[in-house]
Amino acid sequence: MTLKGLIDTDIVNYRKTSMTLEFPICKNFKCDRECGRQVCQNSALATAPDIEVDVDKLIQRYLDNPITKAIVCQGLEPMDSFGDLWLFLLKLRRTYQCQDDVVIYTGYTKEELMHRKGISRILELRQFPNIIIKYGRFIPDQQPHYDEVLGVELASDNQYAEKIS
């Protein structure tokens, strides 16, 4: 599995102490494209070196940390690394029987994920329990708002999270 970064213990992105996985790809930098200027909060990750991690070792690292109670997937765009995300979730849920919350931060809208290449990524992810998706692109110059599902502030009015399973 390829990542750009890993935060073992994070208290910023979710109400529960989490391990945060920073995914390596954003295929189209949609936030920048739609704003007409560079606004991506994670653009520095694009030039960071890739980190190859063994999925089993990564999950064991998470399970061995007595402080973490959830996993946050963010970075550039986890949905653009769907194969790695899927493998991680499959092993976490089926091999390791871990049912902890997994939060996926995406810049895509719910509608875009429902109809992506004729396949609904949301329906695919619903087969795993305790999946939360944060939807929406970053739009600069908006007032942050508190999201009840995540228990944290989100940067743009259009962003929100929902538990899909």
> Which pLDDT score, from 0 to 100, does residue 118 have?
58
Tell me the C-alpha distance between 10 and 37, whole Å.
29
Percent of the chain with pLDDT over 90: 75
Q: Is the pLDDT of residue 88 over 70?
A: yes
Position 106 pLDDT exceeds 70: yes
107 closest CA partner among 83, 74, 145, 148: 74
The stretches of the chain forming alpha helices (DSSP H) are 30-35, 43-47, 55-64, 82-90, 110-114, 121-125
Cβ atoms within 10 Å, residue 117 = 6
